[in-house]
Structure 1
Amino acid sequence: MAAEAPWRFFDLHVVRAERLSPHMARVTFGADDLGGFVSGGRDQRIKLFFPHPGQEETVVPRSPEDWFGEWRALDPDVRGIMRTYTVRAQRAGEVDIDFALHGDVGPASRWAGAARPGHTVVALGPTLADNGGVEFEPPAGTGSFVIAGDETALPAIGAILDWLPAGGRARVWIEVPEPADRQDLRSAADTEITWVEPGTLIDTIRAADLPADAYCWIAGEAGAVRGLRRHLVNERGYDRSAVEFMGYWRRGAGEEQLLAESLAGQNPHTGED
């Protein structure tokens, strides 16, 4: 018997949409076959494909063997607009995706800001918990965590905190555009969350007292993430293997430019757009 593929396409429809804060919206999706959608939790990433304005449905290939090659071969003005997002939460028959909103900057932000029940997208989602789409993988027995990111990492941070078990201790720093973007994040772990102003994440962590034995996870703007990783490894002495880092976006580069770079050299299942 052939092994089950860890990813496949799901036709999602909006069940409800709500504004969580000035710069964050939560869209809850449903699907007829969502029972086959199996998230690995934590910072589980998926691909979402959005329709172009005027399209009644999203155009994506359905061949599981070479969907990526077939998608790339389609006319960019026709094929579904692909972006990477984090599964914020999953319940029976529903999955939540949180979107950082930047007005009309980017097709995904525009779509999420206008999402209403019945609107549709296509997801390339996991069918197995061990699917290669999770980066937060602390060694067994880890009890101390350092977590940091900007508003684009906030959905992943929330999902990670949901996953952390009782008995662990997490120091968390989150940079958001304004105080109204702060969220009530909860965890079974002993968690200390510090909300910081834009542009102050690295300096705030530089001044902080960090646990020496922590597993570190950082995500957000690529330049800030690289600077923070250098600080943790070169100045704080953390082993490189103990610092997981992801650049979710890059200052001065549009979504389409980053996507083009991703297409040029990254695995479609693991690259961040």
Structure 2
Amino acid sequence: MRPSRSRHPPARPKEATLSTVTAPARFALFPLRVARTTALTPHLVRITLTGESLTGFVNGGLDQRIKLLLPLPGQSEPVIPPGDGEFGWYHSWREMPLDERPVLRTYTVRGQRHDPDEIDIDIAVHGDLGPGSAWAAKAAPGDRVVVYGPAVEQAGGVEFRLPAGADWLLLAGDESALPAIAAILEDLPEGLPVRVFAEVDGPEEEGYLPAGRPDSETVWLHRRDGAPSLPEAVGAAALPDGEPYAWIAGEASAVREIRRHLVRERGMDRRAVCFMGYWRAGSSEDQRAEDGAGDDTGD
């Protein structure tokens, strides 16, 4: 996420007065600790975080993204990068020595509660295949982390925007997208037809998504059983008529392939296809940050 740039020359600064009001930062760093962990499926674990700073956390709901800063092995808590301003910490993080710099991962906020203040983050785990997965699999109450998340209403980081005229909805993703898909399904208006394509390891993962929507149809793709890939399944599917809206997330190359298919072969308006590369095969989020690449997002 980058601050927008104006096309006009900056206005001359005004002298500070007692009536000057500084707008609050949209996002902030929240030092938190693990309250508890809950195994949801063989490959999804819920990490519930708590802390006094959560009084200032404002969850936008649906597919709200946050950054999770994790401690390195041997550290009791992550080193908070120095830096002023809303984005100053990120530039400092990139300059930190590798033996101090916390692991940085992007996740979806699955839920928020008050009294006590808590947020849930559901994380796909695959053993030690990545530091985020390894941390989530071993997380315990009291473990300390830092969340970079929304501090005001309408802060950003929510990409799902259902148009008023949409006749039906397409949701597609792998395990990394299931938390956002679940949150979206819970928030949809009744009567809206939904087609869900979910690529997971096996049938044990199917209990994660909320049930009970008579207008929702889910196609589960079990990799372990040699099911078609997500792009193959969407490409071969018979989809409803009418004005669609599509939300796709997961591995970046698969997401791009599905988007191209929907726009070029299905004739969907590209503005009606929201797509996010949550991860990239062969590349970690830390490596992409080193290269100066941001999230693979778009609408």
2:217 is matched with which residue? 192
After superposition, what is the alpha-carbon deviation per residue over 1:32-84, rounded to whole angstroms, capped at 9, x for unaligned? 12121111111100000000111122101254411112222211220211111
Aligned residue among 214, 220, 232 for 2:244: 214
Aligned length: 267
2:260 is matched with which residue? 230
Larger mean CA deviation between 235-244 and 152-161 belongs to 152-161
Q: Distance in 1 between matches of 2:59 and 2:211?
A: 19
The equivalences for 1:48-59 within 5 A come to 48-59=68-79
Larger mean CA deviation between 53-62 and 36-45 belongs to 53-62
Q: Does 1:70 align with 2:95?
A: no
SS in 1 for 2:176: helix
Larger mean CA deviation between 188-197 and 84-93 belongs to 188-197
SS in 2 for 1:26: strand
Query: Identity over the aligned pairs, expressed in percent?
Result: 49
Q: Distance in 2 between matches of 1:206 and 1:13?
A: 43
Larger radius of gyration: 2
SS in 2 for 1:5: coil
The runs of 5 or more residues in structure 2 that have no matched partner are: 1-20
Q: Distance in 1 between matches of 2:178 and 2:68?
A: 18
4+ residue runs over 6 A deviation: none
Q: Does 1:96 align with 2:137?
A: no
**1:140 CA drift (Å):** 3.1
Q: CA RMSD in A?
A: 1.9
Q: TM-score, normalised by structure 2?
A: 0.84
The equivalences for 1:1-273 within 5 A come to 1-61=21-81, 63-65=83-85, 66-92=88-114, 93-186=117-210, 190-198=215-223, 199-211=228-240, 212-261=242-291, 264-266=292-294
**1:187 CA drift (Å):** 7.0
SS in 2 for 1:61: coil
- Residues 11, 26 of structure 1: CA spacing in aligned structure 2 closer, same or farther, 3 A cutoff? same
After superposition, what is the alpha-carbon deviation per residue over 1:123-165, rounded to whole angstroms, capped at 9, x for unaligned? 0110123112011112234342111001111111111112222
AA aligned opposite 2:92:
E
Q: TM-score, normalised by structure 1?
A: 0.91
Q: Distance in 1 between matches of 2:208 and 2:199?
A: 14
SS in 2 for 1:60: coil
Q: Distance in 1 between matches of 2:153 and 2:179?
A: 19
**1:94 CA drift (Å):** 1.1
